[in-house]
Amino acid sequence: MNTDGLPMNEDLVVKPHGAGLDWLLDDLVKRLSGAEKAVVLSADGLTLGRSSGLDREGAEHLSAMASAFRSLARGVGSQFDKGVVHQTVVEMERGYLVVTEAGVGACLALLAGVNADLGMVAYQMNVIVQQVGSNLSASPRVHHSEASSPLTP
């Protein structure tokens, strides 16, 4: 049990826009030279946490874009038998977008400037996932029509 009386295991689901993740993302951005903004997102693109450098709209946009890149990478891995995606890196003229798998159904995305040490960014993102990844899980969304219909075997 944690200090809130909740179980600390892989079944713990993070609430959207939870302040509990924001401090972690702020710390990551502050520690990494060149890091600018970070979000934790569900696999379908919902923002679960954001660094202080992002307003809600910006975080939602970054989450949607990161989810799209994640989906494209997974499609390539599947179609061409390259296996599971661990990390997606997009290099742009003035920076990078790095998306790392984090927990079940969740990702960690970070925007970094062109002068960032990409190896260190990738390493630190993976360290965070190893440390708290089980607490970054996100349950799939259930549509109202699915939630109201009885389950049948």
With respect to residue 32, please indicate whether it lies within any of the assigned structural domains.
yes
Question: With contact defined as beta carbons under 8 Å apart, do 97 and 69 qualify?
Answer: yes
**Percentage of residues in the chain with pLDDT exceeding 70?**
77
Question: With contact defined as beta carbons under 8 Å apart, do 119 and 142 qualify?
Answer: no
With respect to residue 128, please indicate whether it lies within any of the assigned structural domains.
yes
Question: With contact defined as beta carbons under 8 Å apart, do 38 and 110 qualify?
Answer: yes
Residue 23 has what pLDDT?
Answer: 93
Tally of domains in the chain? 1
With respect to residue 95, please indicate whether it lies within any of the assigned structural domains.
yes
3-state secondary structure of 60: helix
Residue 104 has what pLDDT?
Answer: 87
Region 83-100: mean pLDDT is 97
With respect to residue 2, please indicate whether it lies within any of the assigned structural domains.
no
Residue 17 has what pLDDT?
Answer: 43
Range of 55's domain? 19-140
pTM of the prediction? 0.78
With respect to residue 150, please indicate whether it lies within any of the assigned structural domains.
no
Residue 97 has what pLDDT?
Answer: 99
Instruction: Write out the two tokens for 151.
Output: 């389950």
With respect to residue 29, please indicate whether it lies within any of the assigned structural domains.
yes
Sign of CA dihedral 52, 56, 60, 62: negative
With respect to residue 67, please indicate whether it lies within any of the assigned structural domains.
yes
Instruction: State the CATH number of the domain containing residue 117.
Output: 3.30.450.30
